[in-house]
Chains A and B, each alone.
Chain A
Amino acid sequence: MHTSEKEMAERIKTISGVNTRKCMKCGKCSGTCPSFHEMDIHPHEFIAMVEKGQIEKLLKSTSIWMCLSCFACVERCPRGVEPAKIIEAVRLSVIRQQGANHLAPTKIPELLDENLPQQAIVSAFRKYSK
């Protein structure tokens, strides 16, 4: 089933619990972000783009892998917008896409490593095999 960008934006807001309308566009999130220069789309842009419903670009953004989840932006945002939670929600939407499995069960034996904790394998199944 195809989901529209607008619906995806709503889902990201629901997953994150963030009200993007509270943003007053001060840019303190991007001012405080230690990964700013590694990102193609910056924390303050995430908020604006979710608000506008431009989700496709965010899903392809490298920023979701560069965010350290240090929560400095959440801590310092004067309006309580919590940008890191939006980035986390976008990241989860990419990781947990149906049918876009990154790991097939048949591939597991060859990947197994003695030092790999069993829990990591179980987690990998949970994440990818839906």
Chain B
Amino acid sequence: MQRIGVFICWCGSNIANTVDVKAVAQALSHEPGVVYSTDYQYMCSEAGQNIVKDAIKNYELTGVVICACSPRMHEATFRKMAGAAGLNPYMLEVANIREQCSWIHKDKVEGTQKAIILGRTAIAKVNLNAPLTAGESPVTKRALVIGGGIAGIQTALDIADAGFEVDIVEKEPTIGGKMTQLDKTFPTLDCAACILTPKMVDVAQNDKIKIYSYSEVKSVKGFVGNFTVQINKKARYVKEDVCTGCGICTEKCPQKKVSNEFNLGMNNRSAIYIPFAQAVPKIATIDANSCTMLKTGKCGVCAKVCTAKAIDYTQKDEIVEEKYGAIVVATGFNPIKLDNYGEYAYDQSPDVVTSLEFERLMNAAGPTNGVLLRPSDGEHPKTIVFVQCVGSRDTTGCGKTYCSKICCMYTAKHAMLVREKYPDTEVYVFYIDVRTPGKNFDEFYRRAVEDYGVHYIKGMVGKVAPSGSKLMVQASDLLENDQMNIAADMVVLAAAIEPDKTARSLATMLTASMDTNDFFTEAHPKLRPVESPTAGVYLSGVCQGPKDIPETVAQAGAAASKVIGLLVKDKLMCNPFVAHSNELMCNGCSACEKVCPYGAITYSDKEFKMPNRTIAVRRVASVNPAVCQGCGACTVACPSGAMDLNGFSNNQIMAEVDAICR
């Protein structure tokens, strides 16, 4: 039999106004196991805590029930106090008589009655409580960052700065991500390469950081502090440690008609290539789908011209296995495909481009060397129409329901840069709403209108029809209640952004949850924005939701600080509320293993002593307490009642229900 102390908090007047605290203390003193019952004005105050601590000693209490605010508020406070008084912290329960009682009732008689019921429920549970001890697990002091864009780069640099080793896995031949393709960055208009490439070099030169470029994560096993990850290093047919990045192979390669993905297919590259001048690592990669030597066995020019002897046509994909304590997802985004938006004639005219393509057309390292020329005839465009929200805020299933967040700002930037460089160009921006919250953002947009004379028109473009060398744009001007017809030379579509396609398979490997748009879900939308609900997995950049570069860098730093907070620990305190399986009752059906969202349950064959000194081998479940998050799904799924949750056992919950219904 437990010796239970019950402590009723007034919470000033919050509880005491609607609940007769003295009557509750009196009523609960008669409950089974209760040896002491009292009330106090503020139980969470130091004086209040001392009352409890003294009672634990003086009455030799083995269990404590605090009737006060929600356990979300002060359960941790009270459990710490119980521990300090020498009681196992998990022998203390909180009955919520504020949020779930006094705040929602007006009638004091009813409120008091309910408080008594809530109190006796907690007492019934404490009677069945057993002391719990949180386990410990070791921490591998090394982090993995998946994705080498600005988000991954910043996270890796910050983690390395704290003295921990970090590996970056990047699927492309170079790190840098989307930011390498941008021309200028808003709202300061500094060039993207000028601020990004020094960071890329920092990554390359940091001896704590290892880059797995042209590589992908193949499998993830383990749990927080103890992940084992297999990385597939795709064959690039060039020896990474030998290649000097001189680029002679890319000049001499006879296959020069390969669509250049770095310039979004607007010019060509050779089959052996370095994506751009500042690539990190600066190593050539052979595109196996285009290389004549790899396809037919006849060529070998690159091997002949390579003075470093770095070409190796026999290279194969290689699987590397590494151990990590924490994993950061930084998989980034892509603009959506515009197949569902035929009205904008993207497929019909090369002069209808996406905003990312427009970045390349404005960039000095782009297909036109930074001179804005129409892709169709190489002429300077004199009239440019920008269309906002192409595929964003679309609930019809053609696009994305969300606002892509960055388009208003980059369109203002494009419009401004065009007017700056080519003042004789007429620039129209069709918008539904201009959304420019952020430091110096709205001022930036207004500058486009007021200083640069960009025509901002409230309304949507209905259709774009190529006609001769012109693009006939038909759009509404809602403020004029008019329909406009503009003969444009170029149309730029602000295509919605979506998470990279690799994110979904990665989420499955990590058992990290995603929303319906394939953005990773955060542990709490406001208070834990850079942590995934899966322990040890952190989120950085657009993989969690649309965001611009400043926000991405801020989030990358936040994710890094969470990783550092994990890696500095030598051991991790595990959650004591974990499931355990009663092996004698387990029938080996695997139902629990299938429902477990964290992969915490495994099955193994064990020997059991049977009647007449025989031994039977049975397949039974066991729970890894370091991985289990205590969600309880397995206890519900288990048909034989073998699965139970420590601290929330079936017996305890039934006792609580009985106490309520008494």
What residues make up the interface of A, taking CB atoms closer than 8 Å to B?
Answer: 22, 24-33, 36-37, 42, 44-45, 72, 76-80
A106 to B459, CA, bound (A): 51
B483 A76 Cβ-Cβ under 8 A: no
**Across the two chains, which residue of chain B brings its CB closest to A34?**
B474
Q: B389 near A26 (CB under 8 angstroms)?
A: yes
Q: Is B339 an interface residue (CB 8 A)?
A: no
- Contact A31:B483 (CB < 8 A) given known A76-B462, A78-B399: yes
B398 neighbours in A (Cβ, 8 Å) = 78
A38–chain B nearest beta-carbon distance, Å: 11
Chain B residues whose CB sits within 8 angstroms of the CB of A42 once the complex forms: 476, 481, 483
Q: Which of B451-476 contact A (CB under 8 A)?
A: 458-463, 474-476
- Complex CA–CA separation, A4 to B323 (angstroms): 73
Interface size on B, residues (CB 8 A): 23
The docked-state distance in angstroms from the alpha carbon of A30 to that of B463 is 11
In the complex, the answer to whether B478 meets A78 with C-beta atoms within 8 Å is no
Within 8 Å of chain A (Cβ to Cβ): is B396? yes
Query: Is B394 a contact partner of A27 (Cβ separation < 8 A)?
Result: no
Enumerate chain A residues within 8 angstroms of B478, measured Cβ to Cβ.
Answer: 25, 27, 30, 44
Contact A24 B432 (CB under 8 A): yes
B45 part of interface (Cβ distance < 8 Å): no
- Asked whether any CB of chain A lies closer than 8 Å to the CB of B343, the reply is yes
In the bound complex, how far is the Cα of B392 from the Cα of A78, in angstroms?
Answer: 9
Q: Which residue of chain A has the shortest Cβ distance to B461 in the bound complex?
A: A31
Is B393 interfacial (CB 8 A cutoff)?
yes
Please list the 6 inter-chain residue pairs (A to B) with the smallest Cβ-Cβ separation, ordered nearest first. A32-B462, A31-B462, A28-B460, A31-B476, A27-B476, A30-B476
Residues of B within 8 A of A27 (CB): 432, 458-460, 476-478
With a CB–CB cut-off of 8 A, which chain B residues contact A44? 476, 478
Q: Known pairs A22-B395, A78-B395. 7 more at Cβ < 8 A?
A: A27-B458, A31-B462, A31-B463, A32-B463, A72-B463, A79-B394, A80-B396
A24 contact set on B, CB distance < 8 A: 393, 432
* Contact status B483-A78, CB under 8 Å: no
A41, closest chain B residue (CB): B481
Q: What CA separation (Å) do A25 and B458 show in the bound complex?
A: 10
8 Å CB contact of B393 from A37, A45, A76, A78: A78
> With contacts A28-B476, A44-B478 known, is A77 near B462, CB below 8 A?
no
B396 touches A31 (CB 8 A): no
Q: How far is the CA of A24 from the CA of B460 in the complex (A)?
A: 11
- How far apart are A128's CB and chain B's nearest CB, in angstroms? 34
Q: Are B481 and A45 in contact (CB under 8 A)?
A: yes
Total CB contacts across the A-B interface at under 8 A: 72
Chain A interface, >50% SS class: helix
Q: How far is the CA of A28 from the CA of B458 in the complex (A)?
A: 10
Q: Are B395 and A80 in contact (CB under 8 A)?
A: yes
Interface residue from B399, B458, B483 paired with A37 (Cβ < 8 Å): B483
Q: Which residues on the B side are within 8 Å of A30 (C-beta)?
A: 459, 462, 476, 478, 483
Find chain A residues with CB under 8 A from B459 CB.
Answer: 26-27, 30-31
State in angstroms the CA–CA spacing of A61 and B581 once bound together.
74
Name B83-142 residues within 8 Å CB distance of A. none
Given the contacts A44-B476, A78-B389, A78-B399, A28 and B462 also touching, CB distance less than 8 Å: yes
**CB closest residue in chain B, given A45:** B481
Q: State the Cβ distance, A17 to closest chain B Cβ, in Å.
A: 15
**In the complex, what residues of B have CB within 8 A of residue A76's CB?**
343, 462-463
Contacting residues, chain A, for B432 (C-beta < 8 A): 24-27
Cα separation A57 to B194 with both chains bound (whole Å): 59
Residues of B397-438 whose CB lies within 8 A of A:
398-399, 430, 432
Residues of B within 8 Å of A37, CB to CB, are 483
Q: Identify which of B396, B463, B481 contacts A77 (C-beta below 8 A).
A: B396
**How far is it, in angstroms, between the C-alpha of A29 and the C-alpha of B483 when the chains are bound?**
10
In the assembled complex, the Cα of A42 lies from the Cα of B481 at a distance in Å of: 8
Q: How far is the CA of A36 from the CA of B432 in the complex (A)?
A: 19
Cα A76 to Cα B395 in complex, Å, equals: 11
B463 CB to nearest chain A CB (Å)? 6
Measured CB to CB, the nearest residue on chain B to A32 is B462
Task: Determine how close the nearest CB of chain A comes to the CB of B621; give it in whole angstroms.
Answer: 47
Cα distance A45–B483 in the bound complex, in angstroms: 13
Contact of B462 among A33, A45, A80 (CB under 8 A): A33
Can you name 17 A-B residue pairings with CB atoms under 8 Å? A22-B395, A24-B393, A25-B478, A28-B460, A28-B461, A30-B459, A30-B476, A31-B476, A32-B343, A32-B462, A32-B463, A33-B483, A36-B476, A76-B343, A78-B389, A78-B394, A80-B396
